[in-house]
Structure 1
Amino acid sequence: MKKNEEIIALEVDGMDCNNCAMSISRFLERKGLEDVFVNFQTKEVRFRQNDEKLTLEQVKNGINKLGYQVVEPEQPEPWWTLERKLWISAIFTLPLLLHHLLMMAGGGLPFLDNNWVQFAVCLPPFLIGFIHFGRSAISSIRGGVPNMDVLIFIGSTAAFIYSVIGTLMHEHDYIFYETSATIITLVLVGNWLEKRAVKQTTTAIGELTRLQVEKARKVMPSGTIITINREELQVGDILQVNEGDKVPIDGLVLEGEAEVDESMLTGESEPVRKSANDEVIGSSLLVSGNIRVQVTAIGRDTVLSRMIELVKTAQQDKPALQRLADKISAIFVPVVLTIALLTFALGHWAFGLEAQQALMNAIAVLVISCPCAMGLATPTAVMVGVGRLARNGILVKGGQTVETFAGVENFVFDKTGTLTTGRFRIKNIDYRTSDRKRVNALIHRMEQYSSHPIAQSLVREMESRVNGLDLGTLKVEEIKGGGLVAVDDAGVQYKIGSDRLVGTETALAGQLVYLTANDELLATVEIEDELKDDSDELIHYLKKEGLHPIILSGDKQAKTAEVAGKLGVEEFYAEQRPEEKLSKIEEISQRAPTAMVGDGINDAPALARATIGVSLSNASQAAIQSAQMVLLNGQLDHLPKAVIISKATVRTIRQSLFWAFAYNIVAIPIAAMGLLNPMWGALFMAFSDVVVIGNAVRLRRRKLW
């Protein structure tokens, strides 16, 4: 990849809400950069570099000019943190607030009776707020998406300037220093609580990142074992992993046996037995035994890296609810400013209120309004929901997948390898030639070129029947939904697969695999399959929840009907070619939102066409790439968990959005009518974000099953 096409990731400090992220996104997109993604929760800004349109240095300068800070590697944390701003502001605000409350009770602090002393005490928190909120407010306006800080900046500044005018005019009724200082301090408290709460929504990323193994034992060609950093590993390296070690990176077992705990990655509670030719996942733990592993994936291609990436980018594909909230947030601040101006103008000139009372009502409108709650409702819930799915071994591609999956009504299952074990057993081989060794060798050799469960089972079953016969060069091609075709050095064409591949004249009754040479039948293989242990439980769960299970298989009518009958599935379709599966999925999806669950290469088109494609992790890469959801343990027992967590996530989003909208709809009119002191408004506004984030955090611990 060329340098100017690389995906660049920057850490950016100072983003408090979704509007901040939108400001940076708009800036980069207006400059012509592509694949822009900004996540205020993880502080990550990513884009595809294009030096012709904007160099990396220009990007950094542009982001810094917007009022945010690009964090450079090894850069120390700044001294002037949010916490220090809060403490200093609170120290000066408390006397002003206490004096105000005591005056309401007929007392007060004597030294604050002087307006100039109040001015001096208010000045530090005002300057902190003026710079902190002012910089953010101006940045958001430049970015085209005014944020909450615009309202806080105008409200606190108006109260301070009005108080200064009162001080110069010696008018005690015009003094509202405590209002200005308290607004700033309470909003800083809210920002601090929000910052702490947001961290809790991203714990899944932290937990997954901490799983990464930093060191690996590499076996050199000489047999010497050296310790190297994970970043130095290359595909093909041989690693030694001993009992008690974590597997450094994804790989294939070359020799040895071990019990491996994959629970943190796949949600599988029991250790899994691994031996030669089995795949192991990086960061899984060897409970017992020792193995030698050949590295098969590094960097972003590993299972753990993909998990981290999917959780990080959960918000990139925004749910419809989020897009609605974003649109409202973008126009919210101008609307609130208009309402505040009308509150002052109508209150003073139409209803005859004193100027200071009308101003306090307008300030109350400004400080109680909270667009951030609307912007935070969806991304925080999605982040927590996707994180919980990941911890249970369920990967989802994008936040919209969660929302869509929660609304799925039809669940369409491939049969072989999905509802059944996929570990077929050879019941009988009917040889139609005396050269049995050649037949065995052809079956074993050709089926190695397919990832279909029947093919994998035949390869495994035929291992003991192959006697090292040399077949020469075979050019093998897989036919989707049919089987395999091979041509040897002599030009003989071999076919192995279903009756559709070998032709109806050759086909016989039963669950058979056919092998032909130049269309002459060499052998038929009768195979058996069995249901997975969790298939019956899954179908029972779906039916209990009012969801509709359907079987869509390329297998014979009789075999499909038998499986459907055992599971109690009323609707099933058999003998479906890939193009027929595609057509059937389109038809079913038109009736209601549909999830297609499959694992074979012939399922890939249907997985892509369904409302949501669900693939098993031991599926073909084509199936995994086509799916929006992957069950990492390769079993169906996680599908109910995926349904439950997705529905709980969407429910959390709706609760938070209801709170955000209801809060603003109720609070703004109350403030406009003069029934709310601006200081109380600031307090309520500060905690409105925390309520939304707290609701999302609750999803992490809530008992769902």
Structure 2
Amino acid sequence: MGETQSREITFGIDGMMCGACVSRVEKKLSRVDGVVDAAVNLSTERARLTCDRPETVEAAFDAVESAGYTPVAERLTFGVEGMSCGACVARVEKKLAGLAGVREARVNLTTERAEVVYIPGLVDRDALFAAVEKTGYTPVALDDDTAPEDDDGPSEADTLKRDLIIGAVFTLPVFVIAMARMVPGIGAAMASVLPATGWYVIELLLACPVQFWAGRRFYRLGFGELRHAAPGMNSLVLIGSNAAFFYSLVALVAPGLFPAGAAHTYFDAAAMIVTLILLGRWLEALAKGRTSQAVRGLMQLKASTARVRRDNDWVEVDIAEVAAGDRVQVRPGERVPVDGLVTAGESYVDESMISGEPVAVAKCVDDELIGGTVNQRGSLEIEASRVGEDTTLARIIRMVEDAQAEKPAIQAVADRIAGVFVPIVMALSVATFLGWLVFGPSPAISYAFVAAVSVLLIACPCAMGLATPTAIMVGTGRAAALGILFRRGTAIEQLAGIDTAVFDKTGTLTEGQPKLTSLVAVGSYSKSRTLAYAAAVEAASEHPVAAAIVTAARAQGLEIPAVSDFKVHAGQGVKAVVEGQTVVIGSAAFMTERGVALGDAAADGESEAEQARTPLFIAIDDQLAGLAAVADSERAEAAAMIEALHERGLEVAMLTGDNEATAKAVASRLGIDRVVAGVMPDAKAAEIARLQTEDQQVAFVGDGINDAPALARADVGIAIGSGTDIAIEAGDVVLMRADLAGVVNAHAVARSTLQTIRVNFGWAYGYNVLLIPLAAGALYPFTGWLLNPAIAAGAMSVSSVFVLTNSLRLRRLSAAMAVSSGTDASSDDVSSADAGSAKAAAS
């Protein structure tokens, strides 16, 4: 990069908490070579940087990251028109990534979109668009009227269909005339009507509309690619079809220029090349439209208007005008427009789009509503809490789109190969032509021409470019229909490759709502007094086990006294003063440490633990007063889920803070292979790392809150959510329903998607490896057979259509494990905005 004058750059920084953070970041930035001045503001969370060259800002971003904070770059998504194969994708990505200030560039052939992460001040939208134009393609702002998803004009499929019809109308008679001349009897009859030259002229006249009207897109796009020295599929079709057309034209008007027997016409091949390629492109466009059907269906669930309170009256406004805090009315049968809390009214709401449950949920004052769900009976008034892009539905759509846009490693390799594939094919075509010209039989030029054009056409890399994005789009869409959100496209490849699934116990394998199963008083203490004192202490704790004791005391109508001097001993127990007496609750080890004699109760505690119940010893003034047992029952589907994972070849492990006896009892009942007990929340990530050092590919399944470090550390983090907490940032995969069947189904979708990608690549590459030699004439010495260019064009289209239809099979993928609620997890993808379709989106 060349030298530039000093410039001032401003960017955001996430994660700073205090002045020490500011000082640390400023010190890091000031040490970057080329930084003239650096100032960081805590309140605005922004840094102002004066530097003398563009690469300094890149180094500054790295410096902020090394300090433990996150530099914030801008993100722009825009359309890219004119791409037709993996080579196009690789070319655009390379051009964008080469711009100073671009941190990341991803281009998706199926969605025809580019996503760029860049540093403002070094590069802007105009520069990004200019870079795309220099590669020969057309950038389109998604908020423009010309955006690809604009429904006002004809779609790509409609345009291709129109051109295909025109091409077919003229190609069919050309084909009939050319073929009929070779049929004994018919050829003679045709010659009696018109001489051969007359029929060639008719073929020329019929081929012209196909070549220059129906096939005009190949001229526009192909010449653009060649002009920018970036040949792609359009270039290959342009060269191949024009070679056939103009060779034939010269042979017709000046046959003397050719050696004897070489002045053949191929007007039928030229027309068929264009028509068959258009047929393939039209089928591709139809299939690509179907790959994004799930996302479009979810987008249709968004309400377009809302009834909002304005000046003491209900007014219907555009959904974009609704702000947080507005009062919104939802009448029976209407779709809830925004997320919010019910302030008036009672009703039943169909939340199947989120929960998958077919039964409507009762709603009353202070209950939460989710935008996109359907109000069934009564009228409701709600206070909007999340609107626009902050709603639950918008976050679901955004996660699915992000996953579809991201590329797994296998696609990155494929794009690099595709980037050099077209020039290699063109070189092979030239080599084929020269080889036939030198070594071929007479008339050598005719054979050389046919073989070279066939090589060009049969090797178009369309299938390579479509192999991964179509499978990812259909796979993530199908996963969303099963209640599974892949937040990253790379998570599909990683999840498919795991060999160990690690589960948090409480709230994941269990219900997360422990209950008091027994309480035995010891010595002179009564059961009610012991429970009341224990509840008093535990009322100050936030632990789920504590809630179980408090709930039991309240259920018995006991009066819970006040406490003082409450103290938590992490991982051991709690202590407080109740009515002047010191009450301690905790493990046997905690009691022994405090000198409390357990006597026979120690064995009773071990017995409870062996039955997967957590024993809690209660001491008053250092005298044992009772033994309580708390149990958190396993989820109904947990054992079946683990069995299903075993059948899929996975090892299952469990992490828990419980004692070893309790953990092993749970593991024994559920069939878990490995147990790590006594693990504190902050040590779970270290345990995941330890497993990874054993060459294990690990998926961690947790609730996404206390388990965030472990979710982030695992190769794949699977967060179990429900309702509005589905957008758990720590997980790579989010289960929208709190049902463990989603773990099995997520793994099944990931494996099926990756297998589909591999089959697609195997077909795309194998197809070219096998057919390029065939097109070049490898069988001619043995069979005397040479591939016709028109057949080569058709074969190329077949390759792309195969890849697309193979990917679309994922839409019919059934759930590997039925959800415990009994909802139909294998229903079709979302295709409409009615309540039934909303249900299909989640189930």
* Counterpart residue identity of residue 284, structure 1: T
How far the C-alpha of 1:97 sits from its partner, in A, is 1.8
- CA deviation digits over 1:511-539, x for unaligned, max 9? 3679999x999999864321111112212
State the partner residue of 2:770.
Answer: 666
- CA deviation digits over 1:290-310, x for unaligned, max 9? 655444433333332222122
TM-score (norm 1): 0.85
How far the C-alpha of 1:380 sits from its partner, in A, is 0.6
**DSSP 3-state at the match of 1:634:** coil
* Counterpart residue identity of residue 88, structure 1: I
* Counterpart residue identity of residue 373, structure 2: S
Deviates more, 1:662-671 or 1:17-26: 17-26
- C-alpha distance in 2 between matches for 1:204 and 1:481: 46
1:160 equivalent to 2:245? Answer: yes
1:405 equivalent to 2:495? Answer: yes
Contact 1:265–1:392 (CA<8 Å) still a contact in 2? no
Contact 1:251–1:279 (CA<8 Å) still a contact in 2? yes
Contact 2:727–2:734 (CA<8 Å) still a contact in 1? no
Contact 1:560–1:574 (CA<8 Å) still a contact in 2? yes
Contact 2:651–2:673 (CA<8 Å) still a contact in 1? no
State the partner residue of 2:179.
Answer: 101
- Partner of residue 301 from structure 2, selected from 211, 220, 237: 211
- Partner of residue 759 from structure 2, selected from 620, 638, 655: 655
State the partner residue of 1:538.
Answer: 641
How far the C-alpha of 1:415 sits from its partner, in A, is 0.8
State the partner residue of 2:413.
Answer: 324
1:560 equivalent to 2:663? Answer: yes
Contact 2:718–2:731 (CA<8 Å) still a contact in 1? yes
Contact 2:511–2:632 (CA<8 Å) still a contact in 1? yes
How far the C-alpha of 1:641 sits from its partner, in A, is 1.6
How far the C-alpha of 1:441 sits from its partner, in A, is 7.8
* Counterpart residue identity of residue 671, structure 1: A
State the partner residue of 1:24.
Answer: 92
Deviates more, 1:423-432 or 1:41-50: 423-432
Give the alignment of 1:107-118 within 5 angstroms: 107=187, 108=190, 110=194, 113-114=197-198, 115-118=200-203
State the partner residue of 1:529.
Answer: 632
Deviates more, 1:417-426 or 1:138-147: 138-147
- Partner of residue 334 from structure 1, selected from 407, 416, 423: 423
- C-alpha distance in 2 between matches for 1:242 and 1:623: 28
Taking only aligned residues, the RMSD between alpha carbons, in angstroms, comes to: 4.4
- C-alpha distance in 2 between matches for 1:667 and 1:123: 29
- C-alpha distance in 1 between matches for 2:736 and 2:571: 24
Contact 1:600–1:623 (CA<8 Å) still a contact in 2? no
- C-alpha distance in 1 between matches for 2:679 and 2:492: 29
Identity of aligned residues (%): 33
- C-alpha distance in 2 between matches for 1:204 and 1:626: 24
- Partner of residue 121 from structure 1, selected from 206, 223, 237: 206
* Counterpart residue identity of residue 229, structure 1: D
* Counterpart residue identity of residue 149, structure 1: N
How far the C-alpha of 1:575 sits from its partner, in A, is 0.9
State the partner residue of 2:737.
Answer: 633
How far the C-alpha of 1:363 sits from its partner, in A, is 0.4
Give the alignment of 1:295-694 within 5 angstroms: 295-353=384-442, 354-426=444-516, 447=542, 504-505=593-594, 511=614, 527-589=630-692, 590-599=694-703, 601-618=705-722, 624-673=728-777, 675-694=786-805
State the partner residue of 1:192.
Answer: 282
* Counterpart residue identity of residue 137, structure 1: G
How far the C-alpha of 1:555 sits from its partner, in A, is 1.6
Alpha carbons of structure 1 residues 12 and 374: separation in structure 2 relative to 1, 3 Å: closer
Contact 2:616–2:628 (CA<8 Å) still a contact in 1? yes
* Counterpart residue identity of residue 70, structure 1: V
- C-alpha distance in 2 between matches for 1:257 and 1:281: 15
- C-alpha distance in 2 between matches for 1:48 and 1:501: 53
* Counterpart residue identity of residue 720, structure 2: L
Contact 2:109–2:469 (CA<8 Å) still a contact in 1? no
Alpha carbons of structure 1 residues 496 and 609: separation in structure 2 relative to 1, 3 Å: farther
How far the C-alpha of 1:453 sits from its partner, in A, is 5.2
* Counterpart residue identity of residue 121, structure 2: E
- CA deviation digits over 1:382-401, x for unaligned, max 9? 11010000011101122221
**DSSP 3-state at the match of 2:728:** helix
- CA deviation digits over 1:532-563, x for unaligned, max 9? 11112212212233322211111222321221
- Partner of residue 701 from structure 1, selected from 799, 812, 820: 812
Contact 2:347–2:364 (CA<8 Å) still a contact in 1? yes
* Counterpart residue identity of residue 515, structure 2: R
Alpha carbons of structure 1 residues 285 and 435: separation in structure 2 relative to 1, 3 Å: same
Alpha carbons of structure 1 residues 643 and 503: separation in structure 2 relative to 1, 3 Å: farther
State the partner residue of 1:490.
Answer: none
- C-alpha distance in 1 between matches for 2:309 and 2:546: 33
Contact 1:615–1:623 (CA<8 Å) still a contact in 2? no
- Partner of residue 77 from structure 1, selected from 130, 148, 153: 153
State the partner residue of 1:87.
Answer: 165
- CA deviation digits over 1:100-123, x for unaligned, max 9? 111221425848733455444333
Deviates more, 1:291-300 or 1:533-542: 291-300
Contact 2:330–2:336 (CA<8 Å) still a contact in 1? yes
- C-alpha distance in 1 between matches for 2:305 and 2:648: 46
Contact 1:381–1:653 (CA<8 Å) still a contact in 2? yes
How far the C-alpha of 1:631 sits from its partner, in A, is 0.8
- C-alpha distance in 2 between matches for 1:159 and 1:229: 56
How far the C-alpha of 1:564 sits from its partner, in A, is 1.3
Alpha carbons of structure 1 residues 396 and 695: separation in structure 2 relative to 1, 3 Å: same
Contact 1:502–1:514 (CA<8 Å) still a contact in 2? yes
How far the C-alpha of 1:467 sits from its partner, in A, is 9.7
* Counterpart residue identity of residue 719, structure 2: S
* Counterpart residue identity of residue 335, structure 1: I
Deviates more, 1:435-444 or 1:367-376: 435-444
**DSSP 3-state at the match of 2:652:** strand
- CA deviation digits over 1:340-381, x for unaligned, max 9? 111111112023452011111110111111311122111111
Contiguous gaps of at least 5 residues in structure 1 = 487-493
**DSSP 3-state at the match of 2:756:** helix
* Counterpart residue identity of residue 571, structure 1: R
How far the C-alpha of 1:568 sits from its partner, in A, is 2.3
Contact 2:537–2:574 (CA<8 Å) still a contact in 1? no
Contact 2:341–2:382 (CA<8 Å) still a contact in 1? yes
TM-score (norm 2): 0.72
* Counterpart residue identity of residue 636, structure 2: D
Alpha carbons of structure 1 residues 512 and 356: separation in structure 2 relative to 1, 3 Å: same
Contiguous gaps of at least 5 residues in structure 2 = 1-10, 13-45, 47-71, 147-151, 257-261, 577-582, 606-613, 781-785, 817-843
Alpha carbons of structure 1 residues 11 and 570: separation in structure 2 relative to 1, 3 Å: closer
- C-alpha distance in 2 between matches for 1:620 and 1:514: 38
**DSSP 3-state at the match of 2:741:** coil
- CA deviation digits over 1:564-591, x for unaligned, max 9? 1221224211111234322321232334
Alpha carbons of structure 1 residues 621 and 516: separation in structure 2 relative to 1, 3 Å: farther
- C-alpha distance in 1 between matches for 2:448 and 2:120: 53
Alpha carbons of structure 1 residues 545 and 78: separation in structure 2 relative to 1, 3 Å: closer
Contact 2:726–2:734 (CA<8 Å) still a contact in 1? no
Contact 2:166–2:214 (CA<8 Å) still a contact in 1? no
- C-alpha distance in 1 between matches for 2:116 and 2:233: 26
1:45 equivalent to 2:123? Answer: no
**DSSP 3-state at the match of 1:11:** strand
Give the alignment of 1:213-232 within 5 angstroms: 213-218=303-308, 225-232=314-321
- CA deviation digits over 1:446-502, x for unaligned, max 9? 63xxxx755777887788889999999x9x99999789999xxxxxxx999989999
- C-alpha distance in 1 between matches for 2:560 and 2:315: 37
Between structure 1 and structure 2, the one with the greater Rg is 2
